[in-house]
Structure 1
Amino acid sequence: MDAEGIRELFAGIMSVRVRRMFGGHGIYDGGSMFALEFDGEIFLKADAESESRFIAAGSYPFVYVRGEKPFAMSCWRLPEAAFDDGGMLRGWAELAVAAARRRGAARPIRRPGSSPRSRPR
């Protein structure tokens, strides 16, 4: 799925910004990445509060392999039925945007010029 296809998918519910990354696309609502597209599939951000809904819907997480080791990200596949049901797509997208915002709120604020690896002395 290309960037225009992603924008068309979400057009009825929100305006999204699409950015190439991971060999796919990051999908943003404002400054929050709430979804990603990889190999034609859409994966939505989930967290401890929302992950059980994805599991109940029969979804699965985005997994990539680095070296020989698989890593699961906190993004779960958009349930197939949501591609044809705007109301269902809206519900899943809102769930993902909320998870992305909670994750963003939990991150510490970095001062300009500071390194994420620097430690106070």
Structure 2
Amino acid sequence: MGEKGARLTAESTARAAQLVEEWQSLGPVTSKPMFGGHGIVHDGSMFAMVDSRAHVHLKAKGEHSRVYEDAGAVAHDRMPYWSVPAEVADDEDLLREWAKRAIDGLDR
């Protein structure tokens, strides 16, 4: 999700830890280092990523992706993840709603 060859940063690690704490109300949420950032996992399935710059990306397909696109999110070119616009990322409650949408759309 980040730049090719990006290294894990303290900023991305702190943001991932913050999200895991904030999203505990959504169920078993954990994170793990990957791709120079962190994958955020719900009950064993990855639904979000924090890149090396600490930007949040959420997984979405179908109707869920249209909601993200309508709000100004940008699709990743190779994976089903969408950037989170700043106005969403800065609003803890709204970001939790978007995270729940990503979890609800997981293929399990």
Aligned 8 A contact 1:57 1:79 in 2: yes
Instruction: Return the letter of the residue paired with 1:85.
Output: D
- Asked whether the 8 Å contact 2:12–2:51 carries over to 1, the reply is no
1:59 alignment partner in structure 2: 73
Larger CA Rg, structure 1 vs 2:
1
Please report the TM-score for the alignment, with normalisation by the length of structure 1.
0.68
Q: Which runs of 4+ in 1 moved over 3 A?
A: none
Match of residue 12 from structure 1: 22
Q: Map residues 15-94 of structure 1 onto 2, 5 A cutoff.
A: 16-40=29-53, 41-63=55-77, 72-94=78-100
Unaligned runs of 5+ in 1: 64-71, 105-121
- Structure 2 unmatched runs, 5+: 1-10
SS in 1 for 2:62: coil
Q: Distance in 2 between matches of 1:90 and 1:5?
A: 14
- SS at 1:50's partner residue? helix
> What's the TM-score once normalised by structure 2's chain length?
0.75
Q: Which has the higher contact order (CA 8 A, sep 6+)?
A: 2
Tell me by how many angstroms 1:18 deviates: 1.1
Q: CA RMSD in A?
A: 1.7
Q: Match for 2:97: what amino acid?
A: G
What is the distance in 2 between the residues matched to 1:92 and 1:3? Answer: 20
Aligned length: 94
